[in-house]
Amino acid sequence: MAVRQHKVDSVKRIIKTDSVVSFKDYLTLGDLIGPINADSAIVAFSLGYDAAIGANDSAGAQRCMISRITELRKLNSTPEAVRDMMAISRFGIYDENKEMYYRASRDMYYTIAEIFEGTAMYDNYMRPGLEFARKYQACLDPESYAAKLNVAMIYYAQGNDVMFLATLMDIANEIPEEHPLYSMVMTAIGGRYVIIGKPEEGIPYLAKAAIQEVRTGDRQGTALIRLGTALYELNDLVRAHNYLAIALEQSVAGGAKTNSMMISSAFMPVSNELRGQEQTRLLLLIGLVISLGIGIVLLWRLYSGKKRRALELERIKQQLAVANMSKEAYIADFMNLSSSFMEGLEEFNRICKRKITAGQIDDLLNMIKSGKFIEEQRGKFDDIFDDSFLALYPTFIEDVNKLLLPDKQIVTPAKNVLSTELRVLAFTRLGVDDTARVARFLGVTLNTIYTYRNKLRNKAISRETFDADVMKIGLID
């Protein structure tokens, strides 16, 4: 971690001292900082996108956008990542970016498919993932490790476990440990052995992958999580618990919400079983204290140590509970928003049908011109957006006011309700930098958005760094 952080700091110094910063500097920074913190990497790639746009380099801007998609996937911001992928595809992919785009798209759809494994939704995501894997293969040198690994992933998408493992084993026999794909290959082999019920065969591969992730300062890898799960299946509870606890700390520090979800499903049974064993040991120790009073001091120290461990377990459980509650809340908000729009559209269709059938075309036209329907739906969107965003960033309003002059503070119309100018900043914090899209979401003109942004900068303590300061709200240091 220290080595990687030193490299990050070096690039930051270059960016700070150069009079003209290239988007490539931000790409380098994002690639270095991504394994440490996905949220910070998104900020770097967003700044790179702005730099490329400023230099009229559309291909460079697209490259930054593709890199940001990969980090959004780690943050479990799947809808936003898929939306950006589709936007890139819609406007055209530059030849020099096709390899990078196809790889990011493959990984995105494979990740979503794994979430729905065993359900009817699985094929809906694995099919496009397979198509992107084939396109990616056409861009690669057939003899490269990336091409060989991609062939294995094609077999995986086709459900051919035999060829999937065979191809990975061929790569594992020759790929050097320092290769960037080494950890991914070893994780894939070990993880597959665990899935097919052979954890003892998968553990050596997962251990090698976990060691490599530690050596490279990578908080985003999944090898340690899978290793802890495999050890639990072999009833090695202490090491399973230790590895999963460390993996949780790393995923929280790195902002890897997808990894946190993996840990939440693996950690609880380990904790419960380990706690049961600890309780049994505690009873035996108490019995030994009663029969051997001479050892009471030593036993008391042991008990105190176990109590501290129990408190640590409780703290980690609370973190997991918060993560699970947040996940469920965001899913519920998305479903509520979708349901609201569906109900509104159905109601509008019924009104239109009734008016047209009754020959009340003028009434229908007046109703449409009034904009009442749009206002109602936008009001529902604003309410759900405010609740969801403030759940993610509960101190957002206070943090924004800290960036503003004392006499320019923003007062919200009600508790947990954002004003329009705060919503503009909220979209900025979420990385939505398309002004036209923000204007459509908020139902205002482009000029209004520009006006709000200028007003907010004018209110800021530091006008030059205001946008960057907003992007830092909620980051984990």
Q: What is the DSSP string of 247-309?
A: HHHHHHHHT-HHHHHHHHHHHHHHHHHHHHHHHHHHHHHHHHHHH-GGGHHHHHHHHHHHHHH
| Burial class of residue 349 in the structure, from the number of CB atoms within 10 Å of its CB (0-12 exposed, 13-18 middle, 19+ buried) | exposed
Residue with the two structure tokens 């494994």: 117
Determine the Cα–Cα distance for residues 56 and 217; give it in Å rounded to an integer.
35
Instruction: Return the pLDDT at 76.
Output: 72
Name 421's Cβ contacts closer than 8 Å, sequence gap at least 6.
410, 452, 455, 456
3-state helix, strand, coil in the chain (%, to 5): 80, 0, 20
Instruction: Return the pLDDT at 323.
Output: 47
Question: What does the buried/exposed string (b/e) look like for 123-141 if buried means 16 or more CB atoms within 10 Å of the residue's CB?
Answer: eebbebbbebbebbbebbe
Name 242's Cβ contacts closer than 8 Å, sequence gap at least 6.
228
Name 288's Cβ contacts closer than 8 Å, sequence gap at least 6.
295, 299
Q: Collapse the DSSP code of 404 into the 3-class scheme (helix H, G, I; strand E, B; otherwise coil) and give the result.
A: strand
* CA angle, residues 392, 462, 40, in degrees to nearest 5: 40
Q: Which H or E element spans position 465?
A: none
Name 252's Cβ contacts closer than 8 Å, sequence gap at least 6.
260, 319, 476
CA dihedral for 434, 440, 441, 447, sign (positive or negative) = positive
Determine the Cα–Cα distance for residues 450 and 431; give it in Å rounded to an integer.
16
Name 442's Cβ contacts closer than 8 Å, sequence gap at least 6.
378, 420, 423, 424, 449
Residue with the two structure tokens 């009442």: 372
Instruction: Return the pLDDT at 181.
Output: 93
Question: What does the buried/exposed string (b/e) look like for 406-424 if buried means 16 or more CB atoms within 10 Å of the residue's CB?
Answer: eeeeeeeeeeeebbebbbb
DSSP 417: B
Q: In this structure, which long-range contacts are made by residues 455-461, counting pairs with CB atoms below 8 Å and at least 24 apart in sequence?
A: 455/421, 456/404, 456/421, 456/424, 456/425, 459/404, 459/405, 459/408, 460/403, 460/404, 460/405, 461/403, 461/404, 461/405
Given a contact cutoff of 8 angstroms between Cβ atoms, the answer to whether 129 and 95 are in contact is: no
Determine the Cα–Cα distance for residues 88 and 133; give it in Å rounded to an integer.
17
Whose CA is closest to 445, among 455, 435, 453, 456?
A: 435
Average pLDDT, 10 consecutive residues per value, the chain (477 residues): 90 85 90 87 92 93 92 80 88 93 92 84 92 95 95 94 94 94 94 90 94 88 88 86 84 69 68 70 76 82 80 67 52 54 67 79 72 70 78 84 89 82 86 82 84 89 88 74
For 192, other C-beta atoms within 10 Å of its C-beta total: 20
Q: What is the pTM of this model?
A: 0.55
3-class SS string, 440-457:
HHHCCCHHHHHHHHHHHH
Type of residue numbered 282: L
Q: How far is CA 233 from CA 192, 195, 236, 312, in A?
A: 14, 11, 8, 23
Determine the Cα–Cα distance for residues 177 and 200; give it in Å rounded to an integer.
22
E strands, 281-414, are none
Instruction: Return the pLDDT at 258.
Output: 64
